[in-house]
Amino acid sequence: MSTTKIIGMLLILAGVLGLIYGGFSYTKETHTAKLGPLELKVQEKETVVVPVIVSAGAIALGVFLIVGGRNK
């Protein structure tokens, strides 16, 4: 299997996951304070939204790489 087909499959997978989930969340630690034995942490939850057009574009590019990347 060529590298082009593998990249095409990964793009299709990423595009489908983007369409299904619409984005992802992660926790970011912003501040930490240590006062003797006491430790305080502030964590913020960040959300990244994946636009539908980006997901559809990834699927289209993946299909193009798989179909257009055929060897003669």
Structure tokens at 18: 């983007």
Give yes or no for residue 71 having a pLDDT over 70: no
> Is the C-alpha dihedral spanning 15, 44, 27, 30 positive or negative?
positive
Please give the mean pLDDT across all residues of the chain: 89
Which candidate, 22, 11, 71, 30, places its Cα nearest to that of 50? 22
Q: Which long-range contacts (CB under 8 A, 24 or more apart) does 41-44 make?
A: none
Domain interval for residue 36 = 3-68
Q: What is the pLDDT of residues 35-55, one digit of tens each?
A: 888 888 888 999 999 999 999
Q: What is the pLDDT of residues 17-28, one digit of tens each?
A: 999 998 889 998
DSSP 8-state code for residue 2: -
Q: For the chain, what is the domain count?
A: 1
